[in-house]
Structure 1
């Protein structure tokens, strides 16, 4: 669906990407993790065609995003971290926006707004920031665009709304859609994503499916000091040591995204060696 090859991008003299490669497949939810300022938003904007690579190629559905062709624009929806909705009634805004997306479904939009408990009367500017974000996410999903790019979509949402977000996103995926979600709030994506991509200083440090992570790495609590000493990563907890170990016996465990993220940042080469 999206192929990025040898991407180079800089802001004036500050390089962000120098030879980045990445592939995104349909039917998958990708979690793009990384600290603030490491290039997550820049990558999404390059894929959307808002920014233009100095070198390398981005292919999305056979289009070059930077050319901004109408046929490409109808195939993706970008939910930015910062946005400004117009001061018009919500219903009128949907009338303006929906014709740009041939697969837009009004019934789906109404379903998502009900799930998010958004008032659908009145002007958009009368809604809180969190409600406006949920309106934007509802529109993104109702367009049925094959590619959804979401930049820090859970910022501004309360705990209940974050839970609603995970439920709605999981239910909206099908085998022709690809969803790329960037965040530095790692816990917000647990139990949602199919693939983890960790970005640091403009480089992809880690890119694996959740199934393969569970196959190769064992996440557990341990009270054995020797086991903790052998761990690829260990953290103190009230019940002992939370550890990541090589999954040599094929045991079942649930990957802890926050632990994995820290482990990759601290010791990425060792972690990646188990996926070679």
Structure 2
């Protein structure tokens, strides 16, 4: 379990990017972390992995604290940044050398992921495009088999077929003892993988909820019932679409992009 307790951070003394955030990430779940530009998604991930130090609060994996930046913590928590520029070396050697820092690294798994992405193994990293660098980095991140994998815009630089391959590899790599956190603007690339949604807004968590629980409380409809509470309406070319808080049982899959628009624009905090 990874826990965040009263976490705050600011780049300027009087302007907090994150303000008193507390939440818990449970194994066996894929978390979607969403927010408008500048709302602190990348900052939060960097705090979670210890690249930044909080002005208040802490992040823990078990008893290990991110701010201590210990080898034991990094063996459990891997951060995939939003850009991938890897060192100039042989592709297979990169996995062997850097994989040695992770006790559960699986080199054959790394090779298999590279083959899935059609990466030419005979080339060095220097000869690869930026998109291919991204695929190598993704393959390595998944093969490290850390307990927590934090991903910042993981589909950046991937072409359409590669995005599908990434989704399959991510789903295959998921297990009951792992936590995946994906921060992204490209919601459509990965929304089918999420089972828990977090939305950052004005330094706080506007949404921190399981999608199944959300689907029992809210629905998206063009024809709301008289007793439904309309939370948000959006005009589309063929008419209005509404997010409603419904009294009727509902377990239909929610459109996460619409849900994001609804809650950020209505500024309504969800408590389930």
Provide Cα deviations, 1:211-250, integer angstroms capped at 9, x if missing partner.
1111111123x2x5987x9632222334433322223221
Mapped to 1, the partners of 2:60 and 2:151 lie a distance apart of 19
- Give the corresponding residue for 1:46: 47
TM-score, normalised with respect to structure 1: 0.91
TM-score, normalised with respect to structure 2: 0.93
Mapped to 1, the partners of 2:250 and 2:56 lie a distance apart of 44
Provide Cα deviations, 1:158-212, integer angstroms capped at 9, x if missing partner.
2222222222111111010001110122222221111000012221111111111
Mapped to 1, the partners of 2:60 and 2:78 lie a distance apart of 16
Unaligned residue ranges in structure 2 (runs of 5+): none
Mapped to 2, the partners of 1:48 and 1:58 lie a distance apart of 8
Query: Following superposition of structure 1 onto structure 2, how do residues 35-184 of structure 1 map, counting pairs within 5 Å?
Result: 35-184=36-185
Q: Say whether the 8 Å CA contact 2:195–2:211 is kept in structure 1.
A: yes
Query: Following superposition of structure 1 onto structure 2, how do residues 242-261 of structure 1 map, counting pairs within 5 Å?
Result: 242-261=241-260
Mapped to 2, the partners of 1:180 and 1:140 lie a distance apart of 13
- Give the corresponding residue for 1:9: 9
Mapped to 1, the partners of 2:216 and 2:27 lie a distance apart of 22
Mapped to 1, the partners of 2:251 and 2:73 lie a distance apart of 42
Unaligned residue ranges in structure 1 (runs of 5+): none
Q: Say whether the 8 Å CA contact 1:26–1:176 is kept in structure 2.
A: yes
- Give the corresponding residue for 2:240: 241
Mapped to 1, the partners of 2:56 and 2:164 lie a distance apart of 39
Mapped to 2, the partners of 1:142 and 1:90 lie a distance apart of 14
Provide Cα deviations, 1:125-170, integer angstroms capped at 9, x if missing partner.
2111111111111111111111101011111112222222222111
Q: Say whether the 8 Å CA contact 1:206–1:268 is kept in structure 2.
A: no
| Alpha carbons of structure 1 residues 56 and 253: separation in structure 2 relative to 1, 3 Å | same
Moved more, 106-115 or 202-211: 106-115
Mapped to 1, the partners of 2:254 and 2:31 lie a distance apart of 15
Question: Number of paired residues?
Answer: 270
Q: Say whether the 8 Å CA contact 1:61–1:72 is kept in structure 2.
A: no
- For the aligned residue pairs, the C-alpha RMSD in angstroms reads 1.9
Mapped to 2, the partners of 1:202 and 1:53 lie a distance apart of 13
Moved more, 172-181 or 54-63: 54-63
Following TM superposition, the consecutive aligned residue runs of length 4 or more in structure 1 with deviations greater than 4 angstroms are 224-227
- Deviation, structure 1 residue 99: 0.8
Provide Cα deviations, 1:34-78, integer angstroms capped at 9, x if missing partner.
112111111111110111111112111311112111111111211
